[in-house]
Structure 1
Amino acid sequence: MTNIIRTVSLGLIILAGGRSSRMGRDKAALPWQGATLLTDLLLRSQGVAFDEIIVSANRPPDLSALPPELAARVRVVADDCQDCGPLGGMEAAFRACTCSYCLVLSVDLPFYDFSPVKQILPKLAQMPPVDLFLPISENRPQPLAAVYRRGPALEAVQAALNAGKRRVLSIADALTVRILDDEGTPILYENVNMPSAYKAALAIDANRRRTVPVISISAARSGEGKTSLAVQVIAELTRRGYAVAYVKSTHHRRCWEKRGSDTDRALQSGAVQALLCGPDDVAAGEGKEDALLRLAQQTTADVAIVESRSHGPFPVIYIDGPEPPPIRLDNITAVIGCGSDPSFRYIAPEQIDCLCGYILYLTTS
């Protein structure tokens, strides 16, 4: 039997025209790695030989950070169906595209590395036609990081819009679907719909650049439980098999280790190292925050917990209290307490298991 090899072409569609109502500002323009979420995604897309690149956006995006040859390849199309969600953007982009297949990506995927489509691309010309290659990560389908066969997908999207449907997965019943099990790489599909998710992504990115990832614990004043929380976190992370270091900021010039001190409590809870950072440990021309980070990087640990009232390196977990935080709010990713500000993740004081899961998310993703 002779294998039939079809000629296929692959386009990239980035959906960047959403209202960003939960974020409160245009997600496509959020700063990311010296560019924006949109331009960084376009720069990373150069690792795949896309035949066309289309950005679905209802306002002209700033592409000035792109190399001229890449910017010239990008076509921007607006929705004809306003307020129809991602399906409206997909409909306009599918109509504008001429490729046989399209990778459809939401703009708010800062860690997507294009590896799933790199695995599919060599097989497209040799396998029977599939209308939708749908990744599943952590038991959740990812239709906004999926490969669609353009013709059938366009028909399905138009039918869904005509029927008043808005969910992207509503078109799956009209398509032949191949599931892509991507359970091993959930970070690829993490999106940043809210300010707290965006700050968490920035924290993950910062920790990926460090030798030892860092989490800081802060409170407005002494006696509000910084050390007690740090000790509980160290004990739980140690129980889970992680080597944890502890670095504490102090204002004392000369410090001696003694039984019952904060560093001793950290060691007793399982810390592999416990360091103090006083005024004498800050180098000339160095800030306290930089000194704390430097000491954390010198430890032999999987994670470093830094305790400081006002100088902890980003990201900071803040213990809520009656006084305003003594640190920049942008540095706080999570608050121990209750609240509704979308800029923060809120975790109850007794939820140590949840807190440690969040810390590992920020430090090991």
Structure 2
Amino acid sequence: MTLSSTWRAVLLAGGRSSRMGTDKALLAWAGGTLLTHMHTTLLQAGAAQVVVSGDRPELGGVPDAEPGTGPMGALAQLAPRLQDGPWLVVPVDMPLLTPELMHALLSVDAACACVEDHPLPMALRLDADVRAVMDDIGIRPERERSLRALQQRLQCLYLSAPPWSAVLRNGNTPEDWAALRDKS
């Protein structure tokens, strides 16, 4: 997938945040919330459109038709609404992501690209074949419905992790969040 002038992003912001104990998307970051920070970051990096996955009316979010299906279920539910072409899928809780990493992922010539040992962020080149795989995995039972299963089926290409380790931190737990805040 070569970096084109037009790419779009899905911002995953509809999870339960059960390990955090509070809605991660609404945590304070950089004078706003993680949700507003990540939305702005994606637009500033060059996304022509940011589709927010989750019940986030303030940013035109798309609520899950079937809640509780995890990131893969949410992505599969969104897929019919997304136009063909390059997409970057990003979680709301990775505020250190850089445009350099986003562009590196989008520049990989493949249907799917990630950083090794990190299911997100993920670049996808959406077309009918990728949608069919997403649909198939998205309706599977919980144990079989995962981003890793999607990446395996799409023969994802992986960037080496070491150059990106510092920006791939996320806040899933209060401890992760405290460490992340210390890095900001």
Confirm or deny a common fold (TM above 0.5): yes
**Which residue identity is paired with 1:143?**
P
Note if 1:55 corresponds to 2:31. Answer: no
CA root-mean-square deviation: 2.3
Question: In the alignment, which residue of structure 2 is the partner of 1:162?
Answer: 139
How far apart, in 2, do the equivalents of 1:26 and 1:79 lie? Answer: 16
- Residue 84 of structure 1 deviates from its aligned partner by 0.8
Structure 1 unaligned spans of 5+: 64-74, 206-365
Q: How does 1:238-257 map to 2 (within 5 A)?
A: none
- Residue 169 of structure 1 deviates from its aligned partner by 0.3
Which structure has the highest helix share of the two? 2
Structure 2 unaligned spans of 5+: none
Matched position secondary structure for 1:12: strand
Question: In the alignment, which residue of structure 1 is the partner of 2:113?
Answer: 133
Question: In the alignment, which residue of structure 2 is the partner of 1:236?
Answer: none
| Change over 3 Å in CA distance of 1:202–1:178 after alignment to 2 | same
Q: How does 1:1-365 map to 2 (within 5 A)?
A: 9-57=6-54, 59-60=55-56, 62-63=58-59, 75-121=60-106, 123=107, 127=109, 130-136=110-116, 140=117, 142-151=118-127, 152-164=129-141, 165-205=144-184
Matched position secondary structure for 1:22: coil
Relative contact order: is structure 1 or structure 2 higher (C-alpha 8 Å, sep ≥ 6)?
2
Larger CA Rg, structure 1 vs 2: 1
Query: Alignment length, in residue pairs?
Result: 180
- Residue 134 of structure 1 deviates from its aligned partner by 1.6
The answer to whether the 8 Å contact 1:16/1:56 transfers is: yes
Residues 141-184 of structure 1 deviation map (CA, whole Å, 9 limit, x = unaligned): x2220101223333222111333122210112321322111312
Residues 193-244 of structure 1 deviation map (CA, whole Å, 9 limit, x = unaligned): 0111111111222xxxxxxxxxxxxxxxxxxxxxxxxxxxxxxxxxxxxxxx
| Change over 3 Å in CA distance of 1:17–1:87 after alignment to 2 | same
The answer to whether the 8 Å contact 1:56/1:92 transfers is: no
Deviating runs (4+, > 3 A) in structure 1? none
**Identity of aligned pairs, percent?**
25
**Which residue identity is paired with 1:132?**
C
- Residue 109 of structure 1 deviates from its aligned partner by 0.3
How far apart, in 2, do the equivalents of 1:34 and 1:186 lie? Answer: 25
Residues 12-49 of structure 1 deviation map (CA, whole Å, 9 limit, x = unaligned): 10100000011111100000111111111122223322
How far apart, in 1, do the equivalents of 2:38 and 2:138 lie? Answer: 28
Residues 73-117 of structure 1 deviation map (CA, whole Å, 9 limit, x = unaligned): xx4212123211101221133222214121001110021112122
| Change over 3 Å in CA distance of 1:102–1:154 after alignment to 2 | same
| Change over 3 Å in CA distance of 1:189–1:14 after alignment to 2 | same
**Which residue identity is paired with 1:154?**
R
The answer to whether the 8 Å contact 2:8/2:50 transfers is: yes
Q: TM-score normalised to the size of structure 1?
A: 0.46
